[in-house]
């Protein structure tokens, strides 16, 4: 089940928050998440909150002042309960599903007034109607849950959005001319919703982003478009030049947003971990070349996974390293 306390807008005062505790949120069924990047999408979005939009109201007769809070339902992907919502982007006009997981400490009374570090996580494949980080494909939730309990990993809030509006429209997390503004949805609308509705730190040393394969492209691109917002980035088997078959990729304005183009500008100051498996030499080459492109004050660390392949099983194996890296470079919450 979801934690007993609902997700409350950060702006609520004590009286409004107390009234909001009377609200009841529904729980979804026990669907399964998608295991591998390529192939048919899972049915995880099918059970999404049909009444959940960016303007969905949390108002109740007993609490007329709690409005515009995003509505979430519970979804069990087999590795723990995840909050699920359908977000209508106020800036982008794009509608996609977003999943959010909060660590056990989030509902611990000792952390009731603490802000938590947040990670924005992008899947491999097309990312339409699924996100591998939500389930046992990567076992990310278990790594954070276990690590935050023993003190080896920070108690991160994990934000896991869809990556494309459909599997056949590969916009690579960028606003392409004539296509849905997926880039604005991911780099503006989703962070705005998270800051409004969750106790997370301000952008900067408390924010990180990661992705695998195509998701690594998204993580790098979004962080480099907004370098002041992120404190650390992880790429798992990533590439850094757009690989979509959409012709807009050749537009000079779009090419200027490639991570390879942005890295050379020297605007970023965060550390980047580039993971690649030795059994996938193309991934190794891309990681090494991108590391050479990054300019100070950004730093790059290339880590080779011996025998690692461009497969979900290899991505899963590096999860402890991923969250240890973020825990070294991001700031955690302080209990009361």
Picking from 3-12, 32-41, 145-154, 250-259, which range would have the lowest pLDDT averaged per residue? Answer: 32-41
> Could you read off the pLDDT of 176-229 as tens digits, one per residue?
999 999 999 999 999 999 999 999 999 999 999 999 999 999 999 999 999 999
What pLDDT is recorded for position 247? 92
Model's pTM, two decimal places?
Answer: 0.81
How is domain 14-329 classified at the architecture level of CATH?
Answer: 3-Layer(aba) Sandwich (3.40)
What pLDDT is recorded for position 236? 98
What pLDDT is recorded for position 40? 33
How high does pLDDT run on average in the chain?
A: 84
pLDDT exceeding 90 applies to what percent of the chain? 76
> Could you read off the pLDDT of 304-319 as tens digits, one per residue?
999 999 999 999 999 9
What pLDDT is recorded for position 78? 86
What secondary structure does DSSP assign to 28-73, as a single string?
A: --------SSSSS--STTTTS-TT--TT----BTTBTT--SPPP-E
Domain positions in the chain: 14-329
Q: 140-150 and 319-329 helices cross at what angle (nearest 10)?
A: 50
Type and span of the H or E element at 14: helix 14-20
Residue 236 sits at φ, ψ, to 5 deg, of -110, 110
The model's confidence at residue 69, banded by pLDDT at 50, 70 and 90, is confident
What pLDDT is recorded for position 68? 59
The predicted model gives 246-256 an average pLDDT of 93
What pLDDT is recorded for position 79? 82
């Amino acid at each position: 089940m979801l934690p007993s306390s609902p997700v409350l807008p950060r702006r609520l005062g004590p009286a409004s928050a107390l009234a909001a505790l009377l609200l009841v949120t529904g729980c979804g069924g026990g669907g399964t998440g998608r295991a591998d990047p390529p192939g048919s999408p899972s049915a995880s979005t099918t059970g999404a909150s049909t009444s959940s939009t960016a303007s969905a109201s949390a108002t109740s007769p007993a609490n007329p002042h709690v409005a515009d809070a995003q509505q979430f339902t519970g979804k069990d992907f087999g590795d723990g309960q995840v909050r699920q919502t359908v977000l209508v982007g106020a800036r982008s006009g794009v509608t996609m599903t977003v999943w959010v997981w909060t660590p056990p400490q989030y509902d611990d009374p000792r952390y009731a007034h603490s802000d938590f570090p947040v990670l924005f996580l992008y899947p491999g494949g097309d990312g339409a109607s699924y996100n591998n980080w939500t389930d046992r494909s990567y076992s990310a939730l278990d790594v954070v849950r276990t690590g935050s309990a023993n003190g080896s990993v920070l108690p991160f809030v994990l934000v896991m959005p869809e990556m494309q509006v459909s599997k056949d429209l590969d916009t690579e997390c960028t606003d392409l001319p004539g296509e849905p503004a997926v880039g604005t949805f991911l780099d503006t609308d989703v962070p705005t919703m998270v800051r409004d509705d969750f106790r997370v730190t301000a952008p900067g040393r408390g924010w990180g982003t990661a992705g695998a394969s195509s998701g690594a492209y998204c993580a790098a691109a979004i962080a480099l478009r907004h370098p002041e917002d992120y404190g650390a980035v992880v790429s798992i088997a990533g590439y850094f030049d757009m690989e979509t078959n959409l012709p807009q990729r050749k537009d000079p304005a779009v090419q200027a947003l490639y991570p390879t183009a942005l890295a050379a500008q020297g605007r970023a100051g965060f550390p980047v971990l580039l993971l690649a498996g030795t059994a996938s030499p193309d991934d190794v080459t891309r990681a090494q070349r991108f590391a050479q492109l990054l300019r100070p004050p950004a730093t790059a660390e290339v880590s080779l996974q011996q025998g690692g392949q461009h497969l979900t099983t290899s991505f899963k194996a590096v999860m402890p390293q991923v969250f240890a890296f973020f825990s070294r470079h991001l700031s955690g919450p302080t209990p009361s």
